[in-house]
Amino acid sequence: MSVKVDGYKSSTVFEQLKVNITDNEAKKKETIKKINAIFEFNVKNSEGKEQIWTLDLKNDGTVQTGKGSAKPDIIIGLADETFVELASGTLNGQKAFMSGKLKIKGNMMLATKLDGVLSTIPKAKL
Amino acid sequence: MAFQSMVTGAECATGSNPMSQIMKQFTDDRSLQKDTFIPSTERADSSSFRTARLGASSQENKFAQDFFNQQEHARLQGPVSGIPKFVAPHKEWLAEFKNMSDHPQLWKLGSAEAGMEEAFKRTNDHSKWNNEFLHGPDLPISQITEMPEFEEAFQKNFDWASEYVLKRDKGKGKEKILELDNLSWEEQFAAAQRKAESENFKLDDDLKLFREFEDVWSKSNYRGQSDDDEFNDSKAWESEFGDYIFEPNNPYLKHANPFQEGLRLMEEDGSLSEAALAFEAAVQKDEEISDAWTWLGNTQAQNEKEEAAIRALQKAVEVNSNNLTALMSLAVSYTNEGCDHQAYLTLERWLTAKYPDIAISNAPMHGVMDTHSRVTDLFLQAARSAPEGQGMDPDVQVGLGVLFYGSGEYEKAVDCFVTALNTRKDDYLLWNRLGATLANSGRPEDAIEAYHKALDLKPTFVRARYNLGVSCLNIGCYREAAEHLLGALSMHQTGLNGDIGVNTSNSLRETLNRTFLMMERKDLADKILSGSDVNQFREEFEF
């Protein structure tokens, strides 16, 4: 099932995350063991619309649009652009958090694992 | 002063909606609201200091008078009909508040005062809200960063409150004014302020949590960046990458002058992998040629083999610590690997080598941010020092570009690279750097244009082709991404040993693998990971 949502640049990132996380069973288990949390992303695009994506890296290892069946451990609210910047690498989660670009609800500590989740997205190099 | 303005605000007690005033205060300084009112409710024995009275004594405190006078003063200005009457025991007081001398009578609790009492209680309810607000789960960062201010204000008010001597005298049924100790209000306040200022911030729970969080974060993510000792000791750091690993079967070892051959290959747009082999042979023959190491490093970086590049460039700098080209390239490579601090320190070395006259500040370096601002400042000084009428040193612009890129200030970084390109229109490295900056700032379409420019100038530029593939992938053009990445990978093949060497590029194959998965072509994805010859993809893809 596709996690693509038109009008969001983040959409392709989630599609990639889905592939990266769910493709390989061994890798999926390793990721779940390492992260062990459910992330809910509340992404706001340039038109001010909000879209939720949920990364379950605790039970099933899934990426989906909308809320998951289980309660998320952390809810991260951010702009579409910010998510793309995080995924593309040079904006790291810490910088984003410090500059107020991430709104976090729930277990803040889990946000520290965000870079680890997103590091599977390839980045442009100088 | 926020407190005064709060209690003297004309609508404070008399406005139809006291909350509106309170809300204003929250936007100005929430902390005062919380701290001023919460302690008063906690003093259970006296319903509030306003109702706690005692006989007027000769030691009446100026502060208390001022305080209440201000309140009364406010009420006088407000639309209140029942103006309470005053005792004015001190001449000082009279002098200060002449406009109130018309009412030199005893304190009375008028209806207005009762109203104020009520409003006061209501604000206590608001303070609960305030409390919730401050400790709420979706606390945005902007508020957390204000905590030190809050803490300071908290200290002030706490001391201030403790200096009241609150007593109660119900004997006459008429409540009277407070008595405080001798010091004037101003003095006490100033003392409390000094005390608060001299103390380090005592972090309240939120702030502690935040610090802890920050700490965990920095430790969990960036190698060495949370440890000052480690990143000040560049030796310890460099060893993380280790020594350069040479290809075992390098035909250029038999070449008479491999360094010249390497330069020729680079000049004539030969294969970067071939050129790298030539430069490897050159440094294997003589380890002390810093330039050969530099060329090797630069070639590997362009060939999308970052770790090999860093190892070679570290060696180039080790042989010649003033090798400007190597230092700049090394800083760029560190940035790509997410080693921000090391990148900044390397840029600092570059600057001090090229501009020895620029004063190095002795500002303490406690972290990446400090280093970044210090080095940025040095580069800005260098940029300003350009002689009148002459253009700026484009390398300084590049350095600034890398610095701004590192701190996520992409627009500034783009400006720097564009400025540098004005004097070096044919620098394909710069075009690629501009492209990468655009890509990472969410402008993949503009980035693609810059990458194409770089590839027009240097068709064998593997990194630009890789970046082009990444941008295509990130905007969802998977087929184009695959073709660019396959093209890049095919350039890694050398005539002799295929592309399977010791210095491989995992990033290319992994990205290609993902691209195929995105295309739902698991067959191709598996093939590429197993190291298949890229030529077998030519049937399906053009590259």
Separation of alpha carbons B233 and B222, rounded Å: 16
CB contact under 8 A, B216 and A99: no
Q: How far is A11 from chain B (nearest CA, A)?
A: 9
Q: Which of residues 52-111 of A touch B (CB under 8 A)?
A: 77, 81, 84-85, 87-95, 97-100, 102-106, 108-109, 111
Q: Which amino acid is at B427?
A: D
Predicted complex: ipTM over 0.90: no
- Kindly report, residue by residue over A71-92, the tens digit of the pLDDT: 999 999 999 988 988 887 667 7
Q: Helices marked H in B239-355 — which ranges?
A: 258-267, 272-285, 290-302, 306-319, 324-336, 340-354
Of B325-334, B380-389, B503-512, which gets the smallest average pLDDT?
A: B380-389
pLDDT at residue B254, as a whole number: 92
**C-alpha of B255 from chain center:** 51
pLDDT at residue B51, as a whole number: 43
Rounded to an integer, the average pLDDT of B504-511 is: 83
Report strand pairing: A74-79 vs A37-44: parallel
Separation of alpha carbons B402 and B434, rounded Å: 10
Write the DSSP string, B107-123: ----HHHHHHHHHHHHH
Question: Which of the pair, A27 or B538, is modelled with greater confidence?
Answer: B538
Q: Which residues contact B431 (CB under 8 A, 6 or more apart)?
A: B421, B450, B451, B453, B454, B457, B464
pLDDT at residue B312, as a whole number: 95
Which residue of chain A is at minimal alpha-carbon distance from B333? A126
Main-chain dihedrals φ then ψ at residue A50, nearest 5 degrees:
-115, 140
Q: Is residue B77 packed enough to be buried (19+ CB in 10 Å), middle (13-18) or exposed (0-12)?
A: middle
Structure tokens at A73: 């451990």
Separation of alpha carbons B398 and B371, rounded Å: 18
- Using a CB–CB cutoff of 8 Å, tell me whether B141 touches chain A: yes
CB contact under 8 A, B221 and A91: no
Structure tokens at B417: 């690279």
Which residue of chain A is at minimal alpha-carbon distance from B137? A105
CB contact under 8 A, A126 and B214: no
- Kindly report, residue by residue over B145-199, the tens digit of the pLDDT: 445 555 555 555 554 444 444 444 444 444 444 444 555 666 666 666 666 555 5
Structure tokens at B523: 């067959």
CB contact under 8 A, B522 and A108: no
- Using a CB–CB cutoff of 8 Å, tell me whether A15 touches chain B: yes
Q: Is the pLDDT of residue B429 over 50?
A: yes
Long-range contacts of B529-532 (CB under 8 A, 24+ apart): B531/B500
Percent of chain B with pLDDT over 90: 33
Q: How far is A18 from chain B (nearest CA, A)?
A: 9
Which residue of chain B is at minimal alpha-carbon distance from A87? B440
CA dihedral B490, B492, B494, B499 (to 10 degrees): -90
* Global pTM value: 0.62
Q: Is the pLDDT of residue B43 over 50?
A: no
Separation of alpha carbons B167 and B377, rounded Å: 59
- Kindly report, residue by residue over A4-45, the tens digit of the pLDDT: 888 898 888 898 888 888 777 888 888 888 889 999 999 999
pLDDT at residue B325, as a whole number: 95
Confirm if B60 and B179 have CB atoms less than 8 A apart.
yes
pLDDT at residue B296, as a whole number: 96
- Kindly report, residue by residue over B200-215, the tens digit of the pLDDT: 444 455 566 666 666 6
CB contact under 8 A, B221 and A92: yes
Q: Which CATH class for the A10-118 domain? A: alpha beta
CB contact under 8 A, B216 and A109: yes
Cβ neighbours, 10 Å, residue A57: 25
Confirm if B207 and B147 have CB atoms less than 8 A apart.
yes
- Using a CB–CB cutoff of 8 Å, tell me whether B306 touches chain A: yes
Question: Would you list the domain boundaries of chain A?
Answer: 10-118
Domains of chain B: 2-207 (no CATH), 328-537 (1.25.40.10)
Tell me which DSSP letter residue B180 carries: E
Rounded to an integer, the average pLDDT of B125-139 is: 54
